[in-house]
Each structure stands twice: as structure tokens, then as C-alpha cells.
Amino acid sequence: MTRYIALLRGINVGGHNKLPMADLRASLERAGFSDVATYIQSGNVALTGPSCRSEDLSRVIADDFGLEIAVMVRTGEQLAAAIAANPFPEAEAEPKRLLVHFCTNPAPPDALDGFDHTKYGRDRVAVADGNLYVAFDVGAGSSKLSSSILDKLAGSPTTARNWNTVLKLQDMAIGS
């Protein structure tokens, strides 16, 4: 049995795609997963099973809640690799300004070729370990660097988590 982290995109944001975490936990347990735990209301789920595929979790959510949600699944090892690959270690001092955009399909190493960084002030973007990393100068809310721009760069849908959340999810993946 493997411990997985499921990252749901765009739930419980601005009153859209409402998905109560207690209901989600119960649904995933009925689907055969064990040790299901959630972290905050934005779609972070730790669960244990013999396998865990994004499309299977998306189907459970669609069947049980009528929501079409993109889900990214990572193992503890994959989260550890994403943490180790952080190209902006100095940004860890402001963990709410450092986001990892986990991609549905790995972002290609050349995803930023031709990207005009100067349009986004002092916000920085990098590709590492198939993810996009963004170090915001002030914060995501005041940046022109939107999720839709980052999705285009990645070549697939992404879901972002700040550095504090990434570290917490790693703890959940290893069971601490």
C-alpha cells in the first residue's frame, strides 16, 4: 500500500465548486482508500491504496458530487523531489509568496523559452522537476502572472500550493 497526495484544482474558491472535505473523505473511503485525511479546504488529500490515478479520483468526484475537477496525484517521493528541486531557495523565507504549480503533465524543460519575464515585474518563474515554481515579489493576488498564463506555459492544467502547504503535504505523505 502506498501513501498518495491528491491535489484538487479549483475547489472551494470564491464560492465555486463547493466540496465539503468531510464528504470528500467519506467518498474516497467508499471508493476503497484508507487513512484518508484532508488539509485545509482547498483540496489537499492524503490517502492510502494499492494505486491511485488522477482520472479515477476525478471520476469519483464527478459521480458523487457532480463536479468536473482536475486532480494531480503525487507520492511522497515525488513531493520530496519537488521540494529538493526548488529553484528559489531564498524565497522559502516568505513561504506564502513561493508557489509550486503542480502540472497535470510534466512541464517541459523548455517551457519558458520565449517567455518575457519583464512583463511581470520582479515575479520570477522557473521550471524544475516537471513543475512550475513562482516566487512572487509581493504576492499572487497582486501579480499579472495568472494561473491561465502558467497553464499555457506548462502545456497542461496546473494547481498551485504555497510552500507551507507543500511542506505540510510532504509530512502527510510520510505519515508524520
- Give the pLDDT confidence of 38-84 residue by residue, as tens digits: 999 889 999 999 999 999 999 999 999 999 999 999 999 999 999 99
Predicted TM-score of the model (pTM): 0.93
pLDDT at 81: 97
Burial classification of residue 17, based on how many CB atoms lie within 10 Å of its CB (0-12 exposed, 13-18 middle, 19 or more buried): middle
C-alpha span between 39 and 153 (Å, rounded)? 28
pLDDT at 12: 77
What architecture (CATH level 2) is domain 2-75? 2-Layer Sandwich (3.30)
**Residue 39 Rama label (left phi>0; alpha psi -120 to 50; beta):** beta
Cβ atoms of 71 and 58 closer than 8 Å: yes
Grid cell in block for residue 100: 509550486
Specify the domain boundaries for CATH 3.30.70.1280 within the chain. 2-75
